[in-house]
Amino acid sequence: MQETPAPVVDLGLAGKIVMITGAGSGIGRAAVAAFAAAGATVVAAGRRPEPLRESLKLAGLDESRGLAVRCDVTDEASVEAAVETAVSRFGHLDAAVNTAGTFGAIGPIATARYEDAAEVVSVNLMGMWLCVKHQARAMSGTGGGAIVTTGSVASFLGHSGSPMYAATKHGVVGLTKAAALQLAPQGIRVNAVCPGSTDTPMLRELYPDADQLQARAGRAPLGRVGEPAEVAAAALWLASPASSYVTGQALAVDGGVTAGSPAPVRTTKQ
């Protein structure tokens, strides 16, 4: 018997202008593909132009629906210029997904270097604040929009390998909630997507051995690490009109890690 194809869900993103930071790899690249498939025009932002152009090419976007712009999230002038370029090219900004981030150095807090910790704060927290600031400014007075930040399971839990990573990801959720409250009267929604271990270049750099990667997979009740496309799908929904009554929320996409520690079911013979 011939299978009936799954229905296509229209998320209302056709023709929308979406900016994606960290778009050159990992979750950001998957987000470019997801928004392209949903009919959006994508502004791919990041520090290196070539990976951005590759993301647009892989998503099937030509110059009419895709634009690569250089954006260093630690530099306010760079963030402001990237947003202004997007608006100048396409007229306005409807949504943004901010995936740029760094894990930082792994090691004991007692021997951590100030410079390393400051870099994590600069990228993950101050960089996110700069993106939200200038994206919200572009959306103000134009009917509103939606901004998606990227947290982590470390937004809810500690991380012994990098306390500063956990601190900044907790901060991203706090920023998201506060920005959602402030920007709601302007019709701008702000939500966070919080991935668990996801099969990205950053994860494989942190855990290069197969045994290490398997250990990460074993933490999740679903028994595997996530795929970038699965996180991008959540960001797609949060940025779309389909989630029009959702703001100030942190959505964990983590295979169940933050649900708690799974325990074996015990049976007692009578």
- Inter-residue contact 150 to 193 (CB < 8 Å): yes
The answer on pLDDT for 266 being more than 70 is no
Averaged pLDDT, 110-116: 94
Q: Once rounded to an integer, what is the mean pLDDT over residues 40-68? A: 97
Taking phi first (over 0 means left), then psi (-120 to 50 degrees means alpha), and beta for anything else, what does residue 44 get?
Answer: beta
Respond yes or no: is residue 245 known to be catalytic.
no
Mean pLDDT of the chain: 91
36, amino acid identity: A
**Least confident window among 18-27, 55-64, 221-230:** 221-230
Quote the pLDDT of residue 1. Answer: 45
**Average of pLDDT values for 217-244?**
92
pLDDT in tens, 69-87: 999 999 999 999 999 999 9
Q: What is the pTM of this model?
A: 0.91
Per DSSP, helices labelled H in 91-227 are 114-120, 127-139, 163-183, 201-206, 210-219
- Mean pLDDT computed over 11-26: 96
The predicted pLDDT at position 54 comes to 97
At 3 the pLDDT is 52
In terms of C-beta density within 10 A (0-12 exposed, 13-18 middle, 19 or more buried), how is residue 159 classed? middle
pLDDT digit string, tens, across residues 234-265? 999 999 999 999 999 999 999 998 998 765 55
Classify the phi-psi angles of 260: left when phi > 0, otherwise alpha if psi is within -120 to 50, otherwise beta. left
The CA-based angle 6-12-14, given to 5 degrees, is 95
If pLDDT is split at 50, 70 and 90, which confidence band does 268 have?
low
Residue 194 has pLDDT above 90, yes or no: yes
The SS3 of residue 237 is helix
Residue 199 has pLDDT above 50, yes or no: yes
Q: Which of 128, 78, 81, 76 is nearest to 100 (CA)?
A: 128
Catalytic residue among 114, 165, 207, 245: 165
Selected residue with higher pLDDT from 10 and 205:
10
